[in-house]
Structures are given as C-alpha cells and as structure tokens.
Amino acid sequence: MSHFQIGNLIFVTMNGQSLFRHETPLQIRFADLDSLNHVNNANYLTYMELARINYLEEVLALKMDEPYSVILAKATVEYRRPIHLGDDIKIYTRCSRIGTKSFDLEYELRKIDTNGGQLVMAVGHTVMVAYNYESNLPVTVPDAWRQNLVVFDSPSSVDK
C-alpha cells in the first residue's frame, strides 16, 4: 500500500489501484458547521456511520433490525484538512481485517475537485463486532459475511 501526492491531491493505492471500492456521496449541511465555519469534528463520526450503514447494507446485505447484526466497538478519526460548506465530499469505505468475531472498516473522506482530483480530508477506522441482539452476546462472523467481505475488498488479514 502506498500514499502519493500530486500537488494537493493525495492518493492511496496498492499496485497502482485504489484500495477503496465502496463510496458514499455526502452533502455538507449548514448545521454541520462550527463557529470557525468548517465542519465540526464530531460530525466526522456521523459521516462515517452513514458510510458504514451503506457499506453493510450493500456489501453484506445486512439489515440493521435483524437479530444478527453488528455493534461498534471502537472508532478513531484522523483529521487532515477542514471540510467546508459546499465541498463535494465522498466517503470511501473498505474492510481491512476479518477476525473471528470482529472486522475492521477503514474510511477516507475525500474532497472531489472540479477536475475530478481527490484530496483526503480525514481518515477513520472502526472495529465492528458480529452481535446477536437477542442473546446480547458477540458471535462468530457469519460465513456469508466473511465471503462477501473477502470477495468485495480482499482484506489483508483474514482469520479462519
């Protein structure tokens, strides 16, 4: 995996290909701004949540109201540049690790410029635990989820 920069644009690739296949467009709202006129830092986790739900529904065909779902165990954000009202933002999501009972999702919030270039504004990471909401206990990542994650994202670490 490598990061490279051309001017203000930062790209993440592996063997020349982007590691992120899933994207969620984001509209910045006036209510997201703080007194400094950029997006308040707390909203980045909400943006990642939106992307995560889209990813889970589209890649795992997961419905949030099912007895077997996921629960968030950890979330981190690294802020690189401020996001402003009117910025064209896309959130890219990928699975980077699958464990026995959990998997990791990585996020990049990128600003898209008028020429189609992309600038990384923030990166994030979450640990998702497979969870049975009826028994209130973690469970093994279901084989169907594991297969979908491997096929879609080819995570670098997969436990059996």
135 in helix, strand or coil? Answer: coil
143-153 vs 43-59: helix crossing angle, rounded to 10:
110
Spatial distance between the Cα atoms of 28 and 30, rounded to a whole number of angstroms? 7
Structure tokens at 60: 């795992």
Q: Read off the pLDDT band of 157 (50, 70, 90).
A: confident
**Which pLDDT value is given to residue 155?**
85
- Each residue of 11-32: pLDDT tens digit? 444 444 568 999 999 999 999 9
- Each residue of 54-74: pLDDT tens digit? 999 999 999 878 889 999 999
Residues 48/75, Cβ–Cβ less than 8 Å = yes
Average pLDDT, the chain: 89
Average pLDDT, integer, range 97-120: 94
**Which pLDDT value is given to residue 17?**
54
For the chain, the 3-state helix, strand and coil shares in percent, each to the nearest 5, are: 20, 45, 35
Fold held by 21-158:
Thiol Ester Dehydrase; Chain A (3.10.129)
Q: Read off the pLDDT band of 85 (50, 70, 90).
A: very high
Spatial distance between the Cα atoms of 77 and 6, rounded to a whole number of angstroms? 23
**Which pLDDT value is given to residue 11?**
42
**Which pLDDT value is given to residue 39?**
98
**Count of all residues that appear for the chain in the document:** 160
Spatial distance between the Cα atoms of 90 and 109, rounded to a whole number of angstroms? 6
Residues 41/77, Cβ–Cβ less than 8 Å = yes
Per-range mean pLDDT, top range of 19-23, 128-132, 150-154: 128-132
**Which pLDDT value is given to residue 156?**
81
2 or 105, which is more confident: 105
Spatial distance between the Cα atoms of 134 and 113, rounded to a whole number of angstroms? 46
Spatial distance between the Cα atoms of 125 and 111, rounded to a whole number of angstroms? 18
Tell me which of 8-12, 104-108, 110-114 is least confident: 8-12
Q: How far apart are the first and last CA of the chain?
A: 23
